[in-house]
């Protein structure tokens, strides 16, 4: 298992993470922490790419859509 490029404290301090879409054949629309994001995406490398994109974004909101039907929104806290 690889580690994240950012600390959990750093991620939670900078962003509110919202996951919406279909997960385990159920609709979800909820705020999650880092552990919830890792559980839903289930791929550390992909989470690192999403976080890199969110940290480099100059907008107040960064939306990432996955092909499996999840939409992850990073809101600047």
**pLDDT (tens digit per residue) in 16-54:** 999 999 999 999 999 999 999 999 999 999 999 999 999
Residues 61-67 have a mean pLDDT of 96
Write phi, then psi, for 41 (nearest 5 degrees): -80, -40
* pLDDT value at residue 2: 65
SS3 annotation, 2-55: CCCCCCHHHHHHHEEEEEEEEECCEEEEEEECHHHHHHHHCCHHHHHHHHHHHH
Q: Which residue has the tokens 């499996």?
A: 68
Determine the Cα–Cα distance for residues 49 and 16; give it in Å rounded to an integer. Answer: 17
Handedness of CA 6, 73, 68, 23 (dihedral sign): positive
């Amino acid at each position: 298992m690889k580690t994240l490029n950012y600390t959990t404290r750093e991620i939670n301090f900078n962003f509110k993470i919202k996951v919406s879409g279909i997960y385990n054949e159920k609709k979800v629309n909820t705020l999650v922490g880092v552990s919830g994001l890792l559980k839903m995406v289930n791929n550390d490398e992909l989470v690192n790419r999403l976080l890199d994109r969110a940290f480099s974004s100059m907008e107040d909101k960064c939306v990432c859509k996955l092909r499996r039907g999840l939409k992850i929104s990073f809101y600047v806290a």
